[in-house]
Structure 1
Amino acid sequence: MLIPRAVAVVVDGRRALVIKRYLRRESAAACAMCGNARTSGCPGHHYAVLPGGHVEDGESAEDAAVRELAEETTLRARIDRLLWTGRHNGRPASYFLMADVAGAAVLSGSEAQEHSPDNSFELLWASADEFERLNLHPADIRAPLARLLGR
């Protein structure tokens, strides 16, 4: 069974909060980004994601999005509304627009603890014209997120 993913969409004007990543695993088989690559080693991947993570047993997707946002960025917020659903590395994903965001975005939680040369995390505010260069993942969220930021 695939564990659902809950995602927090935090907007500041025409920018969205993303986590810029670099990930390199010891083998392609251990790397979600390599997928079914037929190489033995993972070459490393530069990409960005929106804050979020797995929905725990007995937890709603809404609660998971709020929790993950706080754990990863120290930001506190509430759900405004569900923006869209999709897939993230084959897992079902729910994307929620956050409202009443409070605090300053600071990398925290396991992302801060696991930060290393082969597994790096950096919070940044990105505009829609940066999504491709940042390799915002999954790619199918770029267009709806750009439309949201264009309003």
Structure 2
Amino acid sequence: MNPRERAVCVCFDGPRVLLMRRLKEGRRYTVLPGGGIEPGETPAQAAVRELAEETGLVATVTDDLVTVDHDDRRAHYLLMVATPGEPTLGGPEALAESEDNRYRPGWVPVAELADEPLLPEEARAVVLRAFAESLTDGR
């Protein structure tokens, strides 16, 4: 069986990274925006669509960072540049909101990433590497 494929958005706004803080069934954690790749979509197309749905931000993909298998999912991490602005929850995530299922998109300083319960754990290294490269590349 082929793993389900997912596009994962890595967006920076200066020294901040875009994260989705989650509360699900009493458990608090953080993820990068993104979601499933639909039939006929490329990972880049899925990332642009998912980011717009989840946060209202319009973005372009600037780099394919890495593809990682996480259990039953293959995750394509993509570096993106979003139009300036504050994210606003939308799409299926907004419809799924309840007292015990919440999504909070927001910009978080990369310097505070160690304090975030980011899942999957491998995502932290991807974000930090991309941020370090953006500083040296001037992106």
Structure 1 residue runs of 4 or more that deviate by more than 4 Å after TM superposition: none
State the TM-score, normalized to the length of structure 2: 0.85
The question of 1:73 aligning with 2:78 is answered: no
The question of 1:19 aligning with 2:20 is answered: yes
CA-to-aligned-CA distance 1:36-76 (integer Å, 9 cap, x gap): xxxxxxxx321111110000111111100000001111111
Q: C-alpha distance in 1, partners of 2:117/2:22?
A: 10
Q: C-alpha distance in 2, partners of 1:90/1:130?
A: 29
CA-to-aligned-CA distance 1:5-36 (integer Å, 9 cap, x gap): 00111101111100000111xxxxxxxxxxxx
Alignment-mate amino acid for residue 90 of structure 1 = D
Alignment-mate amino acid for residue 17 of structure 1 = L
CA contact (8 A) 1:71 1:109 kept: yes
Could you say which residue in structure 2 is the equivalent of 1:10? Answer: 11
CA contact (8 A) 1:72 1:108 kept: yes
Query: Would the alpha carbon gap of residues 149 and 14 (structure 1) be closer, same or farther in structure 2, given more than 3 Å must change?
Result: farther
CA contact (8 A) 1:13 1:149 kept: no
State the TM-score, normalized to the length of structure 1: 0.79
Q: C-alpha distance in 2, partners of 1:115/1:88?
A: 25
Query: Would the alpha carbon gap of residues 117 and 48 (structure 1) be closer, same or farther in structure 2, given more than 3 Å must change?
Result: same
Structure 1 unmatched runs, 5+: 25-43
CA-to-aligned-CA distance 1:59-114 (integer Å, 9 cap, x gap): 11110000000111111111101011113453000011112535541111111111
1:130-141 matched pairs, under 5 angstroms: 130-141=112-123
Query: Would the alpha carbon gap of residues 9 and 73 (structure 1) be closer, same or farther in structure 2, given more than 3 Å must change?
Result: same
Could you say which residue in structure 1 is the equivalent of 2:74? Answer: 92
Tell me the number of residue pairs that the alignment of Structure 1 and Structure 2 aligns.
132
Could you say which residue in structure 2 is the equivalent of 1:106? Answer: 88
User: RMSD of the TM alignment (CA)?
Assistant: 1.7
CA contact (8 A) 1:47 1:137 kept: yes
CA contact (8 A) 1:3 1:92 kept: yes
Could you say which residue in structure 2 is the equivalent of 1:36? Answer: none
Given the alignment, which residue of 82, 97, 100 partners 1:118? 100
Q: Between Structure 1 and Structure 2, whose CA radius of gyration is higher?
A: 1
